[in-house]
Structure 1
Amino acid sequence: MSYQTLDLVKEGNIATLYLNRVDSLNAMDVQMLRDLSECLSEISTSNITLLFITGRGRAFSAGGDLKSMLSSPSEDGFKEVMDNIKNIIVTLYTMPAITVSLINGPAAGLGLSFALACDSVLAERKSKIAMNFINIGLVPDGGGHFFLKKRLGEHLAKQVIWKGESMDSDKALEMGLIDEIYRGDTEEQIELMKRKLGARPIKAMIASKILFSSQEKQELIQTLEFETISQLEMRRTEDHREGVAAFLEKRAPQFTGK
Protein backbone atom coordinates (compact mmCIF):
# COMPACT_ATOMS: atom_id res chain seq x y z
CA MET A 1 0.00 0.00 0.00
CA SER A 2 1.26 3.51 -0.80
CA TYR A 3 0.90 6.62 1.35
CA GLN A 4 0.92 10.31 0.49
CA THR A 5 3.38 11.34 3.20
CA LEU A 6 5.33 8.15 3.94
CA ASP A 7 7.63 5.71 2.19
CA LEU A 8 7.51 2.14 3.45
CA VAL A 9 10.23 -0.23 2.26
CA LYS A 10 9.93 -3.93 3.12
CA GLU A 11 12.62 -6.58 2.89
CA GLY A 12 11.40 -9.93 4.20
CA ASN A 13 10.46 -9.41 7.84
CA ILE A 14 12.28 -6.07 8.06
CA ALA A 15 10.71 -2.70 7.21
CA THR A 16 11.99 0.86 7.03
CA LEU A 17 9.47 3.66 7.36
CA TYR A 18 10.45 7.11 6.09
CA LEU A 19 8.55 10.26 7.03
CA ASN A 20 8.35 12.09 3.73
CA ARG A 21 7.27 15.72 3.81
CA VAL A 22 10.72 16.99 3.02
CA ASP A 23 9.72 20.59 2.24
CA SER A 24 8.17 20.88 5.72
CA LEU A 25 10.97 19.11 7.63
CA ASN A 26 8.59 16.15 7.91
CA ALA A 27 6.21 18.11 10.13
CA MET A 28 3.16 16.00 10.93
CA ASP A 29 0.06 17.39 9.25
CA VAL A 30 -3.41 15.84 9.30
CA GLN A 31 -2.65 13.64 6.28
CA MET A 32 0.60 12.31 7.73
CA LEU A 33 -1.17 11.41 10.97
CA ARG A 34 -3.81 9.54 8.98
CA ASP A 35 -1.10 7.77 6.98
CA LEU A 36 0.90 6.85 10.08
CA SER A 37 -2.16 5.47 11.85
CA GLU A 38 -3.03 3.27 8.88
CA CYS A 39 0.55 2.25 8.09
CA LEU A 40 1.50 1.25 11.64
CA SER A 41 -1.73 -0.70 12.04
CA GLU A 42 -0.84 -2.56 8.84
CA ILE A 43 2.69 -3.30 10.06
CA SER A 44 1.53 -4.48 13.48
CA THR A 45 -0.58 -7.25 11.91
CA SER A 46 2.03 -8.32 9.34
CA ASN A 47 5.09 -10.56 9.50
CA ILE A 48 7.40 -7.60 10.20
CA THR A 49 9.61 -8.23 13.24
CA LEU A 50 12.03 -5.31 12.88
CA LEU A 51 11.01 -1.75 12.01
CA PHE A 52 13.29 1.24 11.44
CA ILE A 53 11.83 4.75 11.39
CA THR A 54 13.60 7.85 10.10
CA GLY A 55 12.97 10.95 8.01
CA ARG A 56 13.63 11.79 4.40
CA GLY A 57 15.78 14.85 3.81
CA ARG A 58 17.49 16.74 6.60
CA ALA A 59 15.04 16.18 9.45
CA PHE A 60 13.37 13.43 11.43
CA SER A 61 10.32 15.56 12.17
CA ALA A 62 9.88 19.19 13.17
CA GLY A 63 6.76 18.15 15.12
CA GLY A 64 3.12 18.91 14.47
CA ASP A 65 2.51 21.09 11.41
CA LEU A 66 1.18 24.18 13.15
CA LYS A 67 0.03 25.94 9.98
CA SER A 68 -1.88 22.84 8.90
CA MET A 69 -3.51 22.46 12.31
CA LEU A 70 -4.58 26.11 12.28
CA SER A 71 -6.39 25.62 8.98
CA SER A 72 -8.83 23.21 10.68
CA PRO A 73 -9.27 24.59 14.21
CA SER A 74 -12.68 23.02 14.91
CA GLU A 75 -13.11 20.61 17.81
CA ASP A 76 -14.08 17.86 15.36
CA GLY A 77 -10.80 18.39 13.53
CA PHE A 78 -8.94 18.44 16.84
CA LYS A 79 -10.59 15.17 17.90
CA GLU A 80 -9.53 13.43 14.68
CA VAL A 81 -5.96 14.61 15.15
CA MET A 82 -5.77 13.45 18.76
CA ASP A 83 -7.48 10.11 18.00
CA ASN A 84 -4.93 9.43 15.27
CA ILE A 85 -2.05 10.39 17.56
CA LYS A 86 -3.36 8.01 20.23
CA ASN A 87 -3.64 5.14 17.76
CA ILE A 88 -0.17 5.82 16.32
CA ILE A 89 1.58 5.89 19.68
CA VAL A 90 -0.20 2.93 21.26
CA THR A 91 0.27 0.82 18.13
CA LEU A 92 3.96 1.68 17.88
CA TYR A 93 4.60 1.07 21.57
CA THR A 94 2.83 -2.30 21.67
CA MET A 95 3.39 -3.80 18.20
CA PRO A 96 5.02 -7.28 18.10
CA ALA A 97 8.17 -5.99 16.43
CA ILE A 98 11.39 -4.37 17.59
CA THR A 99 11.26 -0.69 16.61
CA VAL A 100 14.22 1.64 16.17
CA SER A 101 13.98 5.37 15.51
CA LEU A 102 16.94 7.08 13.88
CA ILE A 103 16.81 10.83 14.48
CA ASN A 104 18.48 12.51 11.52
CA GLY A 105 18.38 16.24 12.14
CA PRO A 106 15.64 18.04 14.09
CA ALA A 107 13.19 16.02 16.20
CA ALA A 108 10.83 18.34 18.05
CA GLY A 109 7.50 18.24 19.84
CA LEU A 110 5.24 15.52 18.51
CA GLY A 111 8.12 14.31 16.32
CA LEU A 112 10.18 13.64 19.46
CA SER A 113 7.27 11.89 21.22
CA PHE A 114 6.94 9.66 18.15
CA ALA A 115 10.66 8.81 18.19
CA LEU A 116 10.56 8.03 21.92
CA ALA A 117 7.71 5.55 21.41
CA CYS A 118 10.23 3.20 19.74
CA ASP A 119 12.17 0.52 21.61
CA SER A 120 15.53 2.08 20.75
CA VAL A 121 16.28 5.70 19.92
CA LEU A 122 19.42 6.64 18.00
CA ALA A 123 20.43 10.12 16.93
CA GLU A 124 22.86 11.30 14.29
CA ARG A 125 25.70 13.37 15.77
CA LYS A 126 24.38 16.73 14.49
CA SER A 127 20.76 16.17 15.49
CA LYS A 128 18.78 18.73 17.47
CA ILE A 129 16.18 17.49 19.92
CA ALA A 130 13.47 19.46 21.73
CA MET A 131 10.22 18.92 23.61
CA ASN A 132 9.14 22.45 22.77
CA PHE A 133 5.34 22.57 23.13
CA ILE A 134 5.72 25.13 25.92
CA ASN A 135 6.93 27.71 23.42
CA ILE A 136 3.42 27.95 21.97
CA GLY A 137 1.64 27.57 25.30
CA LEU A 138 0.81 23.89 24.93
CA VAL A 139 1.62 20.66 26.79
CA PRO A 140 3.38 17.67 25.20
CA ASP A 141 1.17 15.16 23.43
CA GLY A 142 1.88 11.87 21.71
CA GLY A 143 2.62 10.36 25.11
CA GLY A 144 5.44 12.83 25.69
CA HIS A 145 4.80 12.92 29.46
CA PHE A 146 4.83 9.10 29.62
CA PHE A 147 8.05 8.61 27.66
CA LEU A 148 9.97 11.46 29.30
CA LYS A 149 9.01 10.21 32.76
CA LYS A 150 10.10 6.67 31.87
CA ARG A 151 13.46 7.81 30.55
CA LEU A 152 14.29 10.74 32.83
CA GLY A 153 12.17 10.46 35.96
CA GLU A 154 9.44 12.92 36.87
CA HIS A 155 11.61 15.79 38.12
CA LEU A 156 13.92 15.99 35.11
CA ALA A 157 11.01 15.36 32.72
CA LYS A 158 9.26 18.45 34.10
CA GLN A 159 12.38 20.55 33.59
CA VAL A 160 12.70 19.43 29.97
CA ILE A 161 9.00 20.15 29.32
CA TRP A 162 8.96 23.53 31.06
CA LYS A 163 12.18 24.84 29.48
CA GLY A 164 11.36 23.63 25.96
CA GLU A 165 14.99 24.05 24.96
CA SER A 166 16.74 22.46 22.01
CA MET A 167 19.59 20.13 22.92
CA ASP A 168 22.31 18.43 20.92
CA SER A 169 22.78 14.67 20.70
CA ASP A 170 25.55 14.66 23.34
CA LYS A 171 23.28 16.32 25.89
CA ALA A 172 20.37 14.01 25.02
CA LEU A 173 22.60 10.95 25.46
CA GLU A 174 23.99 12.22 28.76
CA MET A 175 20.45 12.69 30.08
CA GLY A 176 19.32 9.27 28.89
CA LEU A 177 16.83 10.68 26.42
CA ILE A 178 18.41 8.72 23.56
CA ASP A 179 20.27 5.41 23.58
CA GLU A 180 23.09 5.94 21.11
CA ILE A 181 24.73 8.47 18.82
CA TYR A 182 25.71 7.47 15.30
CA ARG A 183 27.98 9.23 12.87
CA GLY A 184 27.60 9.52 9.14
CA ASP A 185 24.93 8.24 6.81
CA THR A 186 21.59 7.10 8.23
CA GLU A 187 21.16 4.43 5.56
CA GLU A 188 24.53 2.94 6.51
CA GLN A 189 23.48 2.91 10.16
CA ILE A 190 20.25 1.13 9.27
CA GLU A 191 22.20 -1.55 7.38
CA LEU A 192 24.52 -1.96 10.36
CA MET A 193 21.56 -2.33 12.71
CA LYS A 194 19.95 -4.87 10.39
CA ARG A 195 23.04 -7.04 10.68
CA LYS A 196 23.41 -6.58 14.43
CA LEU A 197 19.77 -7.19 15.30
CA GLY A 198 19.42 -9.87 12.63
CA ALA A 199 22.01 -11.91 14.54
CA ARG A 200 19.95 -11.71 17.74
CA PRO A 201 17.07 -13.99 18.83
CA ILE A 202 14.48 -11.47 17.73
CA LYS A 203 11.44 -13.49 18.86
CA ALA A 204 12.77 -13.59 22.42
CA MET A 205 13.37 -9.84 22.29
CA ILE A 206 9.82 -9.25 21.09
CA ALA A 207 8.45 -11.49 23.86
CA SER A 208 10.17 -9.31 26.47
CA LYS A 209 8.89 -6.16 24.78
CA ILE A 210 5.30 -7.45 24.86
CA LEU A 211 5.67 -8.40 28.52
CA PHE A 212 6.74 -4.87 29.43
CA SER A 213 4.31 -3.03 27.13
CA SER A 214 1.34 -5.08 28.34
CA GLN A 215 2.09 -3.93 31.88
CA GLU A 216 2.43 -0.26 30.89
CA LYS A 217 -0.18 0.04 28.11
CA GLN A 218 -3.00 1.27 30.33
CA GLU A 219 -0.84 4.01 31.83
CA LEU A 220 0.14 5.14 28.34
CA ILE A 221 -3.49 5.23 27.21
CA GLN A 222 -4.47 7.20 30.31
CA THR A 223 -1.63 9.65 29.71
CA LEU A 224 -2.72 10.17 26.09
CA GLU A 225 -6.29 10.82 27.25
CA PHE A 226 -5.13 13.36 29.87
CA GLU A 227 -2.92 15.03 27.26
CA THR A 228 -5.91 15.40 24.96
CA ILE A 229 -7.97 17.07 27.69
CA SER A 230 -5.11 19.38 28.66
CA GLN A 231 -4.30 20.24 25.06
CA LEU A 232 -7.90 21.26 24.38
CA GLU A 233 -7.83 23.49 27.46
CA MET A 234 -4.50 25.06 26.49
CA ARG A 235 -5.72 25.80 22.95
CA ARG A 236 -8.26 28.16 24.50
CA THR A 237 -5.71 30.21 26.47
CA GLU A 238 -4.36 33.65 25.65
CA ASP A 239 -0.83 32.32 26.03
CA HIS A 240 -1.41 29.79 23.27
CA ARG A 241 -2.81 32.44 20.94
CA GLU A 242 0.22 34.62 21.69
CA GLY A 243 2.60 31.69 21.17
CA VAL A 244 1.09 30.91 17.77
CA ALA A 245 1.14 34.57 16.73
CA ALA A 246 4.79 34.87 17.78
CA PHE A 247 5.67 31.72 15.86
CA LEU A 248 3.99 32.94 12.69
CA GLU A 249 5.50 36.42 13.07
CA LYS A 250 8.94 34.95 13.91
CA ARG A 251 9.32 36.86 17.17
CA ALA A 252 9.68 36.04 20.86
CA PRO A 253 6.33 35.41 22.59
CA GLN A 254 5.12 37.66 25.41
CA PHE A 255 3.25 35.32 27.76
CA THR A 256 0.99 36.62 30.56
CA GLY A 257 -0.04 33.37 32.25
CA LYS A 258 -3.63 33.66 30.99
Structure 2
Amino acid sequence: MTYQTIELVKEGNFATLYLNRVNSLNAMDVEMLQELAECLADVAASNVKLLFVTGRGRAFSAGGDLKTMLSNADESGFQTVMNNIKNIIVSLYTMPAVTVSFLNGAAAGLGLSFALACDQVFAEKNAKIAMNFINIGLIPDGGGHFFLKKRLGEHKAKQVIWEGKSMTSDEALKAGIIDMAYEGDTEEQLELVKRKLEARPLKAMISSKMIYSEQEKQLLLETLDLETEKQLEMRKTQDHREGVAAFLEKRPAHFIGN
Protein backbone atom coordinates (compact mmCIF):
# COMPACT_ATOMS: atom_id res chain seq x y z
CA MET A 1 0.00 0.00 0.00
CA THR A 2 1.23 3.51 -0.83
CA TYR A 3 1.11 6.14 1.90
CA GLN A 4 1.52 9.91 1.69
CA THR A 5 2.90 10.71 5.17
CA ILE A 6 4.64 7.49 6.22
CA GLU A 7 6.75 4.83 4.56
CA LEU A 8 6.83 1.11 5.39
CA VAL A 9 9.80 -0.97 4.23
CA LYS A 10 9.41 -4.74 4.67
CA GLU A 11 12.02 -7.50 4.33
CA GLY A 12 10.56 -10.88 5.25
CA ASN A 13 9.49 -10.76 8.89
CA PHE A 14 11.32 -7.45 9.50
CA ALA A 15 9.88 -3.99 8.82
CA THR A 16 10.87 -0.37 9.29
CA LEU A 17 8.22 2.32 9.58
CA TYR A 18 9.36 5.85 8.71
CA LEU A 19 7.41 8.96 9.65
CA ASN A 20 7.70 11.05 6.51
CA ARG A 21 6.46 14.63 6.77
CA VAL A 22 9.98 15.97 6.58
CA ASN A 23 9.06 19.62 6.00
CA SER A 24 6.94 19.57 9.18
CA LEU A 25 9.47 17.69 11.36
CA ASN A 26 7.12 14.70 11.08
CA ALA A 27 4.40 16.42 13.09
CA MET A 28 1.33 14.19 13.21
CA ASP A 29 -1.58 15.63 11.24
CA VAL A 30 -4.98 14.06 10.53
CA GLU A 31 -3.70 12.22 7.44
CA MET A 32 -0.66 10.77 9.19
CA LEU A 33 -2.74 9.57 12.13
CA GLN A 34 -5.16 7.83 9.78
CA GLU A 35 -2.33 6.23 7.82
CA LEU A 36 -0.53 5.11 10.97
CA ALA A 37 -3.71 3.50 12.31
CA GLU A 38 -4.23 1.58 9.06
CA CYS A 39 -0.56 0.64 8.63
CA LEU A 40 -0.03 -0.63 12.17
CA ALA A 41 -3.22 -2.69 12.05
CA ASP A 42 -1.92 -4.32 8.85
CA VAL A 43 1.53 -4.93 10.32
CA ALA A 44 0.04 -6.47 13.46
CA ALA A 45 -1.92 -8.91 11.31
CA SER A 46 1.10 -9.83 9.16
CA ASN A 47 4.12 -12.07 9.64
CA VAL A 48 6.31 -9.20 10.91
CA LYS A 49 8.18 -10.17 14.07
CA LEU A 50 10.50 -7.18 14.32
CA LEU A 51 9.36 -3.59 13.72
CA PHE A 52 11.54 -0.48 13.91
CA VAL A 53 10.08 3.03 13.91
CA THR A 54 12.00 6.19 13.10
CA GLY A 55 11.65 9.49 11.24
CA ARG A 56 12.85 10.77 7.90
CA GLY A 57 14.83 13.99 7.95
CA ARG A 58 15.95 15.84 11.07
CA ALA A 59 13.32 14.69 13.57
CA PHE A 60 11.48 11.68 14.88
CA SER A 61 8.30 13.71 15.41
CA ALA A 62 7.65 17.21 16.70
CA GLY A 63 4.33 15.93 18.09
CA GLY A 64 0.75 16.65 17.11
CA ASP A 65 0.41 19.13 14.25
CA LEU A 66 -0.94 22.38 15.66
CA LYS A 67 -2.94 23.05 12.49
CA THR A 68 -4.67 19.71 13.04
CA MET A 69 -5.67 20.83 16.55
CA LEU A 70 -7.05 24.10 15.26
CA SER A 71 -8.89 22.64 12.26
CA ASN A 72 -10.50 19.90 14.36
CA ALA A 73 -11.73 22.17 17.11
CA ASP A 74 -15.28 20.79 17.09
CA GLU A 75 -15.97 17.76 19.25
CA SER A 76 -16.68 15.42 16.31
CA GLY A 77 -13.37 16.15 14.60
CA PHE A 78 -11.53 15.89 17.90
CA GLN A 79 -13.08 12.49 18.61
CA THR A 80 -12.01 11.16 15.21
CA VAL A 81 -8.43 12.26 15.88
CA MET A 82 -8.42 10.70 19.34
CA ASN A 83 -9.91 7.43 18.06
CA ASN A 84 -7.07 7.16 15.55
CA ILE A 85 -4.51 7.88 18.27
CA LYS A 86 -6.09 5.18 20.43
CA ASN A 87 -5.95 2.63 17.61
CA ILE A 88 -2.31 3.49 16.85
CA ILE A 89 -1.13 3.13 20.43
CA VAL A 90 -3.04 -0.07 21.17
CA SER A 91 -1.87 -1.68 17.91
CA LEU A 92 1.74 -0.83 18.67
CA TYR A 93 1.66 -1.82 22.34
CA THR A 94 -0.07 -5.16 21.73
CA MET A 95 1.63 -6.04 18.43
CA PRO A 96 2.95 -9.64 18.31
CA ALA A 97 6.40 -8.36 17.34
CA VAL A 98 9.41 -6.80 19.05
CA THR A 99 9.17 -3.05 18.43
CA VAL A 100 11.95 -0.48 18.72
CA SER A 101 11.77 3.29 18.20
CA PHE A 102 14.86 5.22 17.12
CA LEU A 103 14.63 8.90 17.99
CA ASN A 104 16.78 10.52 15.32
CA GLY A 105 15.98 14.08 16.42
CA ALA A 106 13.18 15.87 18.25
CA ALA A 107 10.60 13.61 19.88
CA ALA A 108 7.97 15.75 21.56
CA GLY A 109 4.42 15.48 22.85
CA LEU A 110 2.40 12.91 20.92
CA GLY A 111 5.57 11.93 19.07
CA LEU A 112 7.15 10.89 22.38
CA SER A 113 4.01 9.02 23.49
CA PHE A 114 4.11 7.13 20.19
CA ALA A 115 7.79 6.25 20.68
CA LEU A 116 7.17 5.05 24.24
CA ALA A 117 4.54 2.58 23.01
CA CYS A 118 7.43 0.54 21.59
CA ASP A 119 9.22 -2.16 23.58
CA GLN A 120 12.53 -0.31 23.45
CA VAL A 121 13.35 3.35 22.89
CA PHE A 122 16.75 4.41 21.57
CA ALA A 123 17.74 8.03 20.96
CA GLU A 124 20.52 9.65 18.97
CA LYS A 125 22.88 11.70 21.16
CA ASN A 126 21.64 15.05 19.82
CA ALA A 127 17.94 14.21 20.08
CA LYS A 128 15.67 16.52 22.08
CA ILE A 129 13.00 14.73 24.09
CA ALA A 130 10.00 16.42 25.70
CA MET A 131 6.57 15.55 27.06
CA ASN A 132 5.61 19.19 26.51
CA PHE A 133 1.82 19.27 26.29
CA ILE A 134 1.74 21.46 29.41
CA ASN A 135 3.33 24.32 27.47
CA ILE A 136 0.10 24.82 25.52
CA GLY A 137 -2.18 24.07 28.46
CA LEU A 138 -2.88 20.44 27.57
CA ILE A 139 -2.23 17.03 29.11
CA PRO A 140 -0.34 14.13 27.53
CA ASP A 141 -2.34 11.88 25.24
CA GLY A 142 -1.39 8.83 23.20
CA GLY A 143 -1.03 6.92 26.47
CA GLY A 144 1.66 9.31 27.73
CA HIS A 145 0.43 8.97 31.33
CA PHE A 146 0.46 5.16 31.08
CA PHE A 147 3.95 4.87 29.57
CA LEU A 148 5.64 7.45 31.79
CA LYS A 149 4.16 5.86 34.92
CA LYS A 150 5.43 2.47 33.72
CA ARG A 151 8.93 3.78 33.27
CA LEU A 152 9.22 6.33 36.08
CA GLY A 153 6.55 5.65 38.68
CA GLU A 154 3.68 8.02 39.40
CA HIS A 155 5.60 10.71 41.29
CA LYS A 156 8.41 11.19 38.76
CA ALA A 157 5.96 10.89 35.86
CA LYS A 158 3.97 13.82 37.24
CA GLN A 159 7.10 15.95 37.52
CA VAL A 160 8.07 15.26 33.89
CA ILE A 161 4.53 16.06 32.73
CA TRP A 162 4.23 19.22 34.82
CA GLU A 163 7.66 20.59 33.87
CA GLY A 164 7.29 19.87 30.16
CA LYS A 165 10.95 20.65 29.59
CA SER A 166 13.14 19.49 26.72
CA MET A 167 15.78 16.92 27.67
CA THR A 168 18.91 15.69 25.95
CA SER A 169 19.11 11.99 25.22
CA ASP A 170 21.57 11.60 28.11
CA GLU A 171 19.16 13.32 30.49
CA ALA A 172 16.27 11.17 29.25
CA LEU A 173 18.40 8.04 29.67
CA LYS A 174 19.36 8.99 33.23
CA ALA A 175 15.70 9.66 34.05
CA GLY A 176 14.67 6.27 32.64
CA ILE A 177 12.54 7.61 29.80
CA ILE A 178 14.66 5.97 27.08
CA ASP A 179 16.71 2.77 27.05
CA MET A 180 19.85 3.78 25.19
CA ALA A 181 21.56 6.85 23.73
CA TYR A 182 23.63 6.22 20.61
CA GLU A 183 26.07 8.19 18.51
CA GLY A 184 26.31 8.29 14.75
CA ASP A 185 23.96 7.53 11.89
CA THR A 186 20.52 6.21 12.80
CA GLU A 187 20.38 3.85 9.80
CA GLU A 188 23.67 2.28 10.89
CA GLN A 189 22.40 1.92 14.45
CA LEU A 190 19.17 0.44 13.15
CA GLU A 191 21.12 -2.19 11.22
CA LEU A 192 23.27 -3.06 14.26
CA VAL A 193 20.21 -3.55 16.47
CA LYS A 194 18.49 -5.55 13.73
CA ARG A 195 21.38 -8.01 13.49
CA LYS A 196 21.52 -8.34 17.27
CA LEU A 197 17.80 -9.02 17.66
CA GLU A 198 17.60 -11.39 14.70
CA ALA A 199 20.17 -13.57 16.50
CA ARG A 200 17.88 -13.79 19.54
CA PRO A 201 14.94 -16.19 20.10
CA LEU A 202 12.31 -13.72 18.90
CA LYS A 203 9.39 -16.09 19.39
CA ALA A 204 10.18 -16.41 23.10
CA MET A 205 10.70 -12.66 23.44
CA ILE A 206 7.36 -11.97 21.79
CA SER A 207 5.62 -14.49 24.04
CA SER A 208 6.85 -12.64 27.12
CA LYS A 209 5.72 -9.34 25.59
CA MET A 210 2.25 -10.70 24.91
CA ILE A 211 1.85 -11.86 28.52
CA TYR A 212 2.59 -8.35 29.76
CA SER A 213 0.52 -6.57 27.13
CA GLU A 214 -2.47 -8.83 27.81
CA GLN A 215 -2.22 -8.06 31.52
CA GLU A 216 -1.97 -4.30 30.97
CA LYS A 217 -4.14 -3.73 27.89
CA GLN A 218 -7.29 -2.84 29.83
CA LEU A 219 -5.45 -0.24 31.91
CA LEU A 220 -4.00 1.28 28.73
CA LEU A 221 -7.47 1.46 27.18
CA GLU A 222 -8.87 3.11 30.31
CA THR A 223 -5.99 5.60 30.33
CA LEU A 224 -6.53 6.49 26.67
CA ASP A 225 -10.24 7.06 27.32
CA LEU A 226 -9.48 9.26 30.34
CA GLU A 227 -6.94 11.24 28.32
CA THR A 228 -9.55 11.83 25.62
CA GLU A 229 -12.10 13.01 28.17
CA LYS A 230 -9.70 15.33 30.00
CA GLN A 231 -8.06 16.61 26.82
CA LEU A 232 -11.44 17.75 25.54
CA GLU A 233 -11.87 19.69 28.78
CA MET A 234 -8.40 21.22 28.48
CA ARG A 235 -9.04 22.37 24.89
CA LYS A 236 -11.83 24.59 26.21
CA THR A 237 -9.67 26.39 28.79
CA GLN A 238 -8.29 29.93 28.64
CA ASP A 239 -4.83 28.53 29.36
CA HIS A 240 -4.92 26.37 26.23
CA ARG A 241 -6.01 29.31 24.07
CA GLU A 242 -3.21 31.39 25.56
CA GLY A 243 -0.67 28.57 25.07
CA VAL A 244 -1.53 28.21 21.38
CA ALA A 245 -1.50 31.99 20.84
CA ALA A 246 1.89 32.28 22.56
CA PHE A 247 3.29 29.44 20.45
CA LEU A 248 2.09 31.00 17.20
CA GLU A 249 3.32 34.43 18.23
CA LYS A 250 6.66 33.05 19.49
CA ARG A 251 6.36 34.61 22.94
CA PRO A 252 6.17 33.32 26.53
CA ALA A 253 2.72 32.19 27.59
CA HIS A 254 0.91 33.91 30.47
CA PHE A 255 -1.18 31.24 32.15
CA ILE A 256 -3.84 31.98 34.75
CA GLY A 257 -4.70 28.45 35.86
CA ASN A 258 -8.11 28.47 34.18
Structure 2 residue 70 is matched with structure 1 residue 38? no
Question: What is the deviation of 1:68?
Answer: 2.4
What is the match of residue 126 of structure 1? 126
Aligned to 1:67: 67
Give 1:248's aligned residue.
Answer: 248
Aligned partner of 1:121: which letter? Answer: V
Aligned equivalents of 2:154, 2:73: Cα separation in 1? 32
Q: How far, CA to CA, are the matches of 2:207 and 2:199 in structure 1?
A: 16
Deviations 1:119-171 (A, max 9, x none): 00000000000000000000000000000000001000000000000000111
Query: Tell me, what secondary structure is at the counterpart of 1:64?
Result: coil
Aligned partner of 1:91 in structure 2 is: 91
- Unaligned 5+ runs, structure 2: none
Q: For 1:146 and 1:71, locate their aligned partners in 2 and report how far apart those are by CA, in whole Å.
A: 27
Q: Secondary structure at the match of 2:101?
A: strand
Shift of 1:73: 1.3
Corresponding residue number in structure 2 for 1:100:
100
Aligned-partner Cα distance in 2 for 1:95–1:88? 10
- TM-superposed deviation, 1:194: 1.1
- 1:89 deviates by 0.2
Large movers: runs of 4+ above 4 Å: none
Letter in 1 for 2:159: Q
Q: Within 2, Cα distance between the matches of 1:171 and 1:194?
A: 25
Cα distance in 1 for partners of 2:161, 2:72 equals 26
How far 1:184 moved relative to its partner? 0.5
Aligned length: 258
For residues 205-244 of structure 1, the aligned pairs below 5 Å read: 205-244=205-244
* Equivalent position of 1:57 in the other structure: 57
Structure 1 unmatched runs, 5+:
none
Q: TM-score, normalised by structure 2?
A: 0.99
Q: Percent identity?
A: 73
Quick one: distance in 2 between partners of 1:244 and 1:183?
Answer: 34
The 3-state SS of whatever aligns with 1:135 is helix
The one-letter code sitting in structure 2 at the alignment partner of 1:255 is F
One-letter amino acid matched to 1:154:
E
Distance 2:9 2:192 in 1: 17
**TM-score if structure 1 supplies the norm length?**
0.99
Q: Find the aligned partners of 2:73 and 2:250 in 1 and give their Cα distance.
A: 21
Shift of 1:2: 1.1
